[in-house]
Amino acid sequence: MSLKPDIIHLLARARGDLAMGLPVVLSGAEGGALIAAAETIEAPRLAALTDLARSAGAELTLAVTARRAETLKARAYDGDLARILVPEGAALTWIRATASPEGDLAHPMKGPFRTARGGDTRLHRLALTLAKAARLLPAALVLPLPDADAVAEGRAAGLTILPAEAAEAAMRLASPPHGVVSARVPLAASHAGRVHVFRPEDGSEEHYAIEIGAPPRNAPVLARLHSACFTGDVLGSLKCDCGPQLHAALEQMGAEGAGVLLYLNQEGRGIGLANKMRAYSLQDQGFDTVEANHRLGFEDDERDFRIGAGILRKMGFGAVRLLTNNPAKIDMMRRCGIEVAERVPLIVGETAQNRHYLATKARKSGHLF
């Protein structure tokens, strides 16, 4: 048996390396690229990357999503992304300010930015996918490596070498979490509570299922797919309706005697807590929840609902009565092969502070209130 890591392990290493400011080598058919996350790279490694670019005569670019490019008024010739040319001698502050909207209003005239046009953008796209998977800002420095020798230098320096094609294929696949353990937990909403812990094969966050009673597997189960919201669920934030929705769903399951609530660690609709807090800062500058996501470079919703569907199936549920106001969740469940026999509305927790947030969800995301 080989002890070598496979592509799933290498992907987990790549996410960890990027999160800690280490570059990663993406290897292609011939050469590849050296990539680093704009949010975490520090000055000495940026200097090393710039030196390498200069000595190799290669163009260092900052890949950003088309959403971020729109805010920066940078031309996105590549559809969903733009490759901003990093000017000679650009400092770390330039990289960070281009990647992050924190200072956009204070310094509105950042550009003009020059962007690359033509050529292969595959590795840039993969770099952005990896940055998002590491819950970082979606912006990555990309330095093309001309040949196998350059890739070998990265290996010699101890960097993670990620075969690009295999990585793309592996990231497209859903990684169904497997059940690790379950135990009885009596809850205020029901004494017949049981918490199951699920662990994805790809080394990403664990997810939880809270089973109330003993719902039969051959009938639609009262179900809630709840995405983690540290501020709402734990702190009782008034900016959203998550906490009241969490408790109301459990209470309804307790009252009916059966149900399943999936607690999915997809904080901030899949962008992570740090990025959600960045979005909250933008909301304090007057942007709504969707605009804030876009200015950061994200789509409205970055969650992968295949995870929730996979957990339901692992638990033996094929049909649900889904507690939600979000029609996209119903569509996603159906597309993932879970029958939605009924939508059960879950309208609780409106406050003076979240009225605007809920109105935006209704107007822009089609929520049914």
Positions marked catalytic: 301, 303
227 contributes a contact to ligand GTP by CB under 6 A: yes
265 contacts 337 by C-beta, under 8 angstroms: no
Is 324 among the annotated ligand-binding positions?
Answer: yes
**CA gap 246, 131 in Å, rounded:** 29
293 contributes a contact to ligand GTP by CB under 6 A: yes
From the list 245, 252, 259, 311, which residue makes contact with ligand GTP (rule: CB under 6 A)? Answer: 245
Neighbours of 156 (CB within 10 A): 8
248 contributes a contact to Zn ion by CB under 5 A: no
Q: Of 171-179, 191-199, 249-257, 325-333, which segment contacts ligand GTP by CB under 6 A?
A: 325-333
Identify residue 193 by its one-letter amino acid code.
Answer: G
Q: Could you tell me how many residues of this chain bind Zn ion (CB under 5 A)?
A: 4
Length of the chain: 369
232 contributes a contact to Zn ion by CB under 5 A: yes
Q: Of 75-83, 133-141, 162-170, 318-326, which segment contacts ligand GTP by CB under 6 A?
A: 318-326
Residue 267 binds: one of ligand GTP, Zn ion, none (C-beta under 5 to 8 A by kind):
ligand GTP
Give Cα 311 to chain centroid, integer Å.
19
CB of 176 to ligand GTP, least distance (A): 20
From the list 279, 282, 315, 338, which residue makes contact with ligand GTP (rule: CB under 6 A)? Answer: 279
Degrees to nearest 5, angle at CA 277 with 275 and 279: 70
229 contributes a contact to ligand GTP by CB under 6 A: yes
Q: Which residues pair with 199 in a beta bridge?
A: 178
Is 227 among the annotated ligand-binding positions?
Answer: yes
The H or E element containing residue 352 is none
CB of 281 to Zn ion, least distance (A): 16
Q: For residue 329, with 0-12 CB atoms within 10 Å meaning exposed, 13-18 middle and 19 or more buried, which class applies?
A: buried
**CA gap 237, 211 in Å, rounded:** 26
CB of 127 to Zn ion, least distance (A): 30
